[in-house]
Chains A and B, each alone.
Chain A
Amino acid sequence: MVSRRGFLGSGAAVAVSGVIGVAGGAYAASAVGAQNLETFAAKRELSFRGNHQMGIEADLQSVTNFIAFDIKETTDRAAMLRFMSLITDDIDRLSRGKPVLADPAPELAIGAARFSAYVGFGPSLFEKLGLESQMPTGFGRLPAFKVDRLQDQYSSGDVLIHISADDPVVLAHGTRGLVRDAMPFASVRWVQSGFAHTPGIIPPGITHRNLMGQVDGTANPTLGTDDFDKVVWIEDGPAWIQGGTLLAYRRIAMQLDTWDQLGTPSKEEAVGRKLSNGAPLTGDRESDIPDLAARHPNGLSVIPEFAHIRRAAPVSQDERIFRRPFSYEAGISSAGSVDVGLLWTAYQRNLDNQFIPIQRRLDEFDLLNKWTVPIGSAEFAIAGGVSQGEVIAGALFS
Chain B
Amino acid sequence: MRKFALILFTLLVLAGCSAQGEVRASDLWVKSSEMSTIGGVSAVYGTLTNNTTNDIVLIDGQTDLAGIVEVHEMAMINGELKMQQIAGGLLIPAGQSIQLEPGGNHLMLMQLTKDLLAGEEISVTFSFEGADDLVVDRILAKPAEGGDEEYHSSETKMVN
What residues on B are CB-neighbors of A82 within 8 Å?
Answer: 117-120
CA distance A111 to B102 in the complex (A): 24
How many angstroms from the CA of A184 to the CA of B29 in the assembled complex?
17
Which residues of A have CB within 8 Å of B142?
A: 86, 101-102, 181
Bound state CA distance, A387 and B120, in angstroms? 19
Residues A184 and B118 in contact, CB atoms below 8 Å apart: yes
- How near does chain B come to A245, taking the closest CB pair, in angstroms? 19
**Contact: B140 with A85, CB < 8 Å?**
yes
Complex alpha-carbon distance, A180 and B33, angstroms: 13
Q: Does A317 touch B at the CB level, under 8 Å?
A: no
> Contact: B10 with A389, CB < 8 Å?
yes
A183, B143: Cβ atoms closer than 8 Å? yes
Residue of chain A at shortest CB distance from B4: A387
A387 pairs with B6, CB closer than 8 A: yes
Report chain B residues within 8 Å CB of A85.
Answer: 119, 121, 140
Q: List 19 A-B residue pairs with CB atoms under 8 Å apart, sorted by A's residue number.
A: A82-B118, A82-B120, A85-B119, A86-B118, A86-B119, A86-B143, A101-B27, A101-B140, A101-B142, A104-B146, A181-B119, A181-B142, A184-B119, A387-B7, A388-B6, A388-B14, A389-B6, A389-B9, A390-B6
* Cβ proximity bits A342-356 to B, threshold 8 Å, 1 near / 0 not: 000000000000000
**Which residues of chain A are within 8 angstroms of B27 by Cβ–Cβ distance?**
101
Q: How far is the CB of B6 from chain A (nearest CB, A)?
A: 5
Across chains A and B, the number of contacting residue pairs, with CB separation under 8 Å, is 62
A68 contacts partner chain B, Cβ-Cβ < 8 Å: no
In the assembled complex, how far is the CB of residue B126 from the closest CB belonging to chain A, in whole angstroms?
Answer: 18
Kindly state whether residue B152 has any CB partner on chain A within 8 Å: no
Beyond the given A89-B140, A185-B119, please list 7 additional residue pairs across the A-B interface where CB-CB is below 8 A.
A83-B118, A102-B143, A104-B144, A181-B143, A387-B3, A388-B11, A389-B15
A387–B140 Cα distance when bound, in Å, is 18
Identify which of residues 1-42 in chain B touch chain A, using a CB-to-CB cut-off of 8 Å. Answer: 3, 6-7, 9-11, 13-16, 27, 29, 31-32
| Total contacting residues, chain A, CB less than 8 A | 20
Hey, which chain B residues are within 8 Å of A388, CB to CB? Answer: 6-7, 10-11, 14
Min CB gap B64→A, angstroms: 18
Q: Which residues of A contact B (CB under 8 A)?
A: 79, 81-86, 89, 101-102, 104, 180-181, 183-185, 387-390
Closest chain B residue, CB of each to CB of A86: B119
| Contact of B143 with A180 in the complex, beta carbons under 8 Å | yes
For the complex, is B45 an interface residue (Cβ under 8 Å from A)? yes
A177 to chain B, nearest CB (A): 10
Min CB gap B116→A, angstroms: 11
Which residues does chain A contribute within 8 Å of B16, judged by CB atoms?
Answer: 101
Task: In the A-B complex, list the 3 residue pairs whose CB atoms are closest, starting with the nearest.
Answer: A82-B119, A389-B10, A102-B142
Contacting pair B119 A81 (CB below 8 A)? yes
A20 to chain B, nearest CB (A): 36
Q: How far does the alpha carbon of A388 sit from the alpha carbon of B6 in the complex, in Å?
A: 8
B140 — which chain A residues lie within 8 A by C-beta? 85-86, 89, 101
A83 to B118 Cα, complex, angstroms: 8
B7 touches A389 (CB 8 A): yes
Q: How large is the interface on B (under 10, 10 to 19, 20 to 34, 35 or more residues)?
A: 20 to 34
**Chain A positions within 8 Å of B10 at CB level:** 388-389
Shortest CB distance B136–A (Å):
13
CB B44 to nearest CB in A, in angstroms, measures 11
Is A102 a contact of B9 with CB atoms below 8 Å? Answer: no
Least CB distance, B149 to chain A, in whole angstroms: 12
Most chain-A CB neighbours within 10 Å: which of B13, B117, B142, B146?
A: B142
A residues near B102, Cβ cutoff 8 Å: 102
Nearest-CB distance from A176 to chain B (Å)? 13
A390 to B140, CA, bound (A): 14
The CA of A180 and the CA of B140, in the complex, are separated in Å by: 15
Closest to B139 in A: A101
Query: 1/0 per position for B90-116, CB-CB distance to A under 8 A?
Result: 000000000000100000000000000
A89:B118 contact, CB within 8 angstroms: no
Q: Which residues on the A side are within 8 Å of B6 (C-beta)?
A: 387-390
CB distance from A87 to the nearest CB of B (A): 9
Q: In the bound complex, how far is the Cα of B143 from the Cα of A389, in angstroms?
A: 20
Q: How far is the CA of A388 from the CA of B13 in the complex (A)?
A: 10
Asked whether, in the complex, the Cβ of B144 is within 8 Å of the Cβ of A102, the reply is yes
A82 to B143, CA, bound (A): 11
- Give chain B nearest CB distance to A261 CB in angstroms: 52
Question: Distance (Å) between the CB of B114 and the closest chain A CB?
Answer: 14
In the complex where A388-B10, A389-B6 touch, is A83 in contact with B143 (Cβ < 8 A)? no
Most chain B CB neighbours (cut-off 10 Å) among A83, A84, A388: A388
Which of A84, A102, A104, A185 is the one whose CB lies under 8 Å from B31?
A102
Q: How far is the CB of B12 from chain A (nearest CB, A)?
A: 10
Q: Determine the distance from Cα of A264 to Cα of B140 in the docked complex, in whole angstroms.
A: 57
Q: Contact check: which of B9, B15, B31, B143 meets A184 at CB < 8 Å? A: B143
Contact between A101 and B29, CB atoms less than 8 A apart? yes
Please name the residue on chain A nearest to B32 by beta carbon.
A184
